[in-house]
Amino acid sequence: MATRMVDLRSDTVTLPSMEMREAISKAEVGDDVYGEDPTVNRLEREAAMLVGKEAALFVPSGTMGNLVAVLTHTSRGNAVILDPESHIFYYEAGGASLVGGVQFWPVENLHSPEGLQSFKSALRPDNIHFAPAKLLCLENTHNRRGGTVLKPEEQAALYESAREAGLSVHLDGARIFNAAIALNCPVTALTRSCDSVMFSLSKGLGAPAGSILAGSASFIQLARRYRKILGGGMRQSGILAAAGLIALKHIPYLAADHRRALRLAEGLNRLPGLKISPFPPPTNIIIIDIEDTGLPSVEFLSILQSYGVKAVSFGVNLVRMVTHRDINDNDIDWTLKAVEKICLLKKRV
Ligand SMILES: *Cc1c(COP(=O)(O)O)cnc(C)c1O
């Protein structure tokens, strides 16, 4: 068995730093359901300012932030347009359909330079046969599409077009700061092209839990009610918000995760049987096509784990690796050595 374990399954595995633990121990708290937790209030103020919105809401998870957003923007029987590979459609257990009674309306190529065309051709006229589309959800960076980014002008075009058609726009920005860093633009260049945005404190930014939902003051007022309905009113949650405030200070360090992802991808790309797509990786997510190794991803991953590296399957022939705060340069070397050993194994029959 390996003497050490490098965990590249996700940037959610990041552990709270000592600085966070100290901030948690000193946090001033109160009952947040009464609006009386000063640390939560401060986090919500700072987060709103950071993304250029009037107000923000601290939520336990990104999944709840997205669900609250959909509930706040829509009514039962509405349609929500989104990418079929989006997190809201693919990974959130159909929550908005179950709880909100909305119909998901997946549109191919939404998250691409042809996104505007795809969106426009998906729109249908006002007719009793059709669920009226009231919300467009975008994702930036895009998880299942390998941490790819939508450019400010692409997002702006989609936003304008959606508004013209009477739709609101929610941005699933779990990794929006990774997008801003990769695009070398202020985050507000992206968040200005949406009515609401969710971003994660618990991924690359390293907080133990929590996400932010931001939007107009009236949007957040209603969102606060939906958070309560879903059981997300958390009382002395300043304990978590204290770590969230430190997490906001970690934003510039995401650039180091991108540099390490690039080095890892370059090394992997040189190994026989592996294809990295997209290459180079735009942010901190690497998708590896392992088909030519002759191993299905589940088997590949179990051998990899025995060599001291954890990653996740993204399909029969696809493996995902994510760099994050708790991965250093030695971990990248260790990972490359482990994967190389697998690639040099004889092809199975
Ligand atoms: C992780 C993720 C979420 C959900 O966040 P959780 O805190 O895990 O619920 C939503 N959207 C995207 C794009 C994500 O990567």
Q: DSSP string covering 18-48, please?
A: HHHHHHHHH-----GGGT--HHHHHHHHHHH
Q: What is the pTM of this model?
A: 0.96
Residue 274 has pLDDT above 90, yes or no: yes
Question: Please, what are the domains in the chain?
Answer: 18-249 (3.40.640.10), 253-348 (3.90.1150.10)
Asked if 198 and 221 touch (Cβ cutoff 8 Å), the reply is no
- Token look-up 């790309």 returns 269
Query: What does the pLDDT read at residue 277?
Result: 92
- CA nearest to 246, candidates 6, 43, 44: 43
- For ligand 1, mutation pick of 87, 88, 176, 324 (most atoms within 8 Å of CB): 87
Report phi then psi at 136, rounded to 5: -115, 125
Query: What does the pLDDT read at residue 346?
Result: 56
Ligand 1 center–CA 227 separation, angstroms: 16
* Stretch (H or E) spanning 79: strand 79-82
Pairing of strands 79-82, 318-322: unpaired
- Mind listing the pLDDT tens digit for each residue in 126-162? 999 999 999 999 999 999 999 999 999 999 999 999 9
C-beta of 143 in contact with ligand 1 (< 6 A): yes
Atom of ligand 1 nearest to the CA of 211: 7
C-beta of 61 in contact with ligand 1 (< 6 A): yes
Report phi then psi at 116, rounded to 5: -65, -45
Asked if 144 and 165 touch (Cβ cutoff 8 Å), the reply is no
| Over residues 3-30, mean pLDDT | 97
Distance between CA 23 and CA 254 in Å, rounded?
Answer: 21
- CA nearest to 146, candidates 273, 275, 252: 275
- Residue of the nearest CA to atom 6 in ligand 1? 62
Looking at the DSSP bridge assignments, the partners of residue 59 are: 211
Atom of ligand 1 nearest to the CA of 61: 7
Query: What is the distance in angstroms between the CA of the first residue and the CA of the last residue of the chain?
Result: 25
Ligand 1 center–CA 241 separation, angstroms: 18
C-beta of 197 in contact with ligand 1 (< 6 A): no
Query: What does the pLDDT read at residue 349?
Result: 44
C-beta of 144 in contact with ligand 1 (< 6 A): no
Ligand 1 center–CA 323 separation, angstroms: 16
The tokens describing 10, both together, are: 């996700």
C-beta of 62 in contact with ligand 1 (< 6 A): yes
Residue 60 has pLDDT above 80, yes or no: yes
C-beta of 269 in contact with ligand 1 (< 6 A): no
CB atoms within 10 A of CB 257: 23
**How many percent of the chain have pLDDT more than 90?**
97
**Residue 349 burial (C-beta neighbours within 10 Å; 0-12, 13-18, 19+):** exposed
Separation in Å, CA 196 to CA 13, 72, 164, 271: 26, 10, 17, 42
Does residue 112 or residue 134 have the better pLDDT?
134
145, 151, 154, 157: CA torsion to nearest 10: 130
- Mind listing the pLDDT tens digit for each residue in 303-349? 999 999 999 999 999 999 999 999 999 999 999 999 999 998 855 54
Residue 206 has pLDDT above 60, yes or no: yes
| Over residues 104-118, mean pLDDT | 94
Q: Would the CA dihedral through 159, 193, 155, 202 be positive or negative?
A: negative
- Residue of the nearest CA to atom 3 in ligand 1? 62
Residue 2 has pLDDT above 80, yes or no: no
163: Cα within 13 Å, side-chain hemisphere: 9
Q: pLDDT-based confidence at 113, cuts 50/70/90? A: confident
Distance between CA 180 and CA 190 in Å, rounded?
Answer: 7
